[in-house]
Amino acid sequence: MTQDRTAGEPIGDSTRSVHAGRPEARPYEPSLPGPVFVSHYHLPGEPTGPYVYGRDDNPTWDLLEQAIAELEAPGDPAAGTLAFASGMGAISAVLLSQVRSGDAVVLPSDCYQTTRALIERLESYGVEVRMAPTAGDAQLPLVDGARLVWVESPSNPELDVCDIRRLTDAAHAAGALVAVDNTLATPLGQRPLALGADFSVASGTKALNGHGDLLMGYVTTRSPELADSVRKWRKTVGAIPGPMETWLAHRSLATLSLRVDRQATNALALARALLERPEVTAVRHPGLPTDPSHEIASKQMRRFGSVVSFTLPDQAHAERFLGALRMTSEATSFGSVQCTAERRARWGGDAVAPGFVRFSVGVEDPDDIVADVVRALDEAARQL
């Protein structure tokens, strides 16, 4: 475990990102042990011990899970993380392990569309699903009688923010658990457990890994009982990460602070440039002082993330713009070192305009990012 410099003086985010989850240095051994590929272990006698079967435990998982727990809840030995094969594996594990027939769940109506795809499954189990938008803490009136309140802040893709502490306090007073999807913020941008949440859930596919080359998810909680219930779900449905993907994700953590710092700075530069364009409307980024979410985000976020959203006049205009970009890949994920963008309405399911663009800002030089976007906007406008 990463140690603080001195008592009462916590180490910095970049130092923690580099060292989190790595074992103590030993002569002639790597700083990060290689992935353990195994389906079963030598298990004489009774089936007890730290590792009994490949679907239950893996030492490569252990190191990544320790690392993420250190990032999500620095200095808290009670925090524990469980890694999953994807972000949806983690999201499904929390929702489906914590509710029963007759329970009520509160979901943001503007959360990630595949999270909303679980509504049909929840309702088929006899679970009541209540929905309200993220903005304005609109979920607040729905928490009474709920078993679980699901929060996504900032929301994907519209980047609305809610007051996590306020919602968490109200939910706990009503006897409900709270889970926060922390994918857009990352643990270096926001720490839901410190804001009172019972679960911090994220897709490690995005910024945590940051290289666009693997799928990963995780759940962090301070409660051993909640962790056990999620772990049992993972074991039962087999939503386990591969050892190679796990090792790659852990390796990528070393640059997490460097990447999210650069991406947040670049995203703000792009958002400011977009505000100058008359054909661009509804520019959103929590770091913009003029953004509707900025006041609340400033109180609970330490970094404002890599995603900028904005709207072009119509579908054709947005597609011309995306087609004119030279250094940005048209892709549906976000958080990678490379800029990516997409017209989000092409998937359906999100209440966004046909010309709505979600732009994930990479770590390229900010002047190059802005220049490429401005040139593509100019080209799209000339084709009218």
Q: Is the separation of the CB atoms in 80 and 224 below 8 Å?
A: yes
Q: Which of 103, 328, 323 is nearest to 212 (CA)?
A: 328
Q: Is the separation of the CB atoms in 343 and 318 below 8 Å?
A: yes
Q: Which helix (H) or strand (E) holds 205?
A: none
3-state secondary structure at position 326: coil
Alpha helices in 7-80 (DSSP H): 13-19, 59-72
3-state secondary structure at position 95: helix
Question: Would residue 232 show up in a list of annotated catalytic residues for this protein?
Answer: no
Cα–Cα distance, 189 to 261 (Å, whole number): 9
Q: Is the separation of the CB atoms in 205 and 83 below 8 Å?
A: no
Question: Would residue 13 show up in a list of annotated catalytic residues for this protein?
Answer: no
Determine which one of 112, 191, 218, 350 is catalytic: 112
Residue 283, φ and ψ in degrees, nearest 5: -70, 125
Question: Would residue 206 show up in a list of annotated catalytic residues for this protein?
Answer: yes
Strand partners, 218: 83, 202
Q: Is the separation of the CB atoms in 366 and 265 below 8 Å?
A: yes
What is the helix, strand, coil percentage profile of the chain, to 5? 40, 15, 45
Of the chain, the end-to-end C-alpha distance in Å amounts to 58
Cα–Cα distance, 165 to 350 (Å, whole number): 26
Determine the Cα angle at 88 with ends 116 and 145, to 5°: 50
DSSP state of 144: T
Determine which one of 206, 231, 284, 343 is catalytic: 206
Determine which one of 41, 51, 55, 346 is catalytic: 55
Q: Give the tokens for residue 297.
A: 């985000």
Determine which one of 137, 181, 198, 350 is catalytic: 181
Strand partners, 359: 308, 341
3-state secondary structure at position 98: helix
| Sequence-separated (6 or more) residues with CB below 8 Å from residue 277 | 374, 377
**Residues known to be catalytic:** 55, 112, 181, 206
